[in-house]
Amino acid sequence: MRAVVQRVLNASVSVENQEVSRIGKGLLVLLGVENGDTVDDAKYLASKIAKLRIFEDEMGKMNLSALDVKGEVLLVSQFTLLGDARGQNRPGFIKAMEPEGANELYLTCCKYVEALGLPVSRGVFRANMQVSLVNNGPVTILLDSKKQF
């Protein structure tokens, strides 16, 4: 399971010109589910998302988590994070999990983040979404449950 975590001042998701989710200060998380991922991968990433210390403390150091700053999370499924363009110009997506299983693990990850104490807004699975954000910093962190990076 892979995630792109962005520290944001605000973020939103629209589908067919209708806003479906919006958050204020917090994290926009783009999440890709890979073949072979399990509930353990969802738990691992949920914990990392909630506890990732990328918000500034009173000294200006990134020492605080979204939990510490009472942030919000906008979690958006994005299978293209599993795209492989190493050998070609058109990415291949054979590592991405099939939609039904991916949606189940995406929702599981959302539930685990909520259980850790963060409010979670969601995108619309398999929809053509427009994601807007104001990246604060900018701060963007890549996470992988297999710890490849």
Q: Which CATH superfamily is domain 2-144 in?
A: D-tyrosyl-tRNA(Tyr) deacylase (3.50.80.10)
| Across 2-26, average pLDDT | 98
DSSP for 83-119 reads -B-SSSSSPB-TTBPPHHHHHHHHHHHHHHHHHTT--
pLDDT at residue 149, as a whole number: 74
Residues facing residue 75 across a β-bridge: 29, 122
pLDDT at residue 11, as a whole number: 98
- pLDDT confidence band for 148 (50 / 70 / 90): confident
Measure the CA–CA gap between 31 and 26, rounded to whole angstroms. 16
Q: Six-digit token pair at 114?
A: 């909520």
First to last CA, the chain: 12
User: Is there a catalytic annotation at residue 78?
Assistant: yes
The one catalytic residue among 6, 55, 78, 108:
78
| Across 75-87, average pLDDT | 95
User: Is there a catalytic annotation at residue 88?
Assistant: no
DSSP letter at 34 equals: B
pLDDT at residue 107, as a whole number: 98
pLDDT in tens, 89-139: 999 999 999 999 999 999 999 999 999 999 999 999 999 999 999 999 999
Q: Six-digit token pair at 59?
A: 């000294």
The one catalytic residue among 80, 130, 140, 148:
80
Q: Identify whether 99 is preceded by a cis peptide bond (ω within 30 of 0).
A: no
Exposure string of 39-65, with b = 16+ CB inside 10 Å and e = fewer, is eebbbbbbebbbebebbbeeeeeeebb
| Across 21-49, average pLDDT | 98
Q: Is the pLDDT of residue 64 over 90?
A: yes
Domain ranges of the chain: 2-144
The one catalytic residue among 6, 38, 55, 79:
79
| Across 32-41, average pLDDT | 98
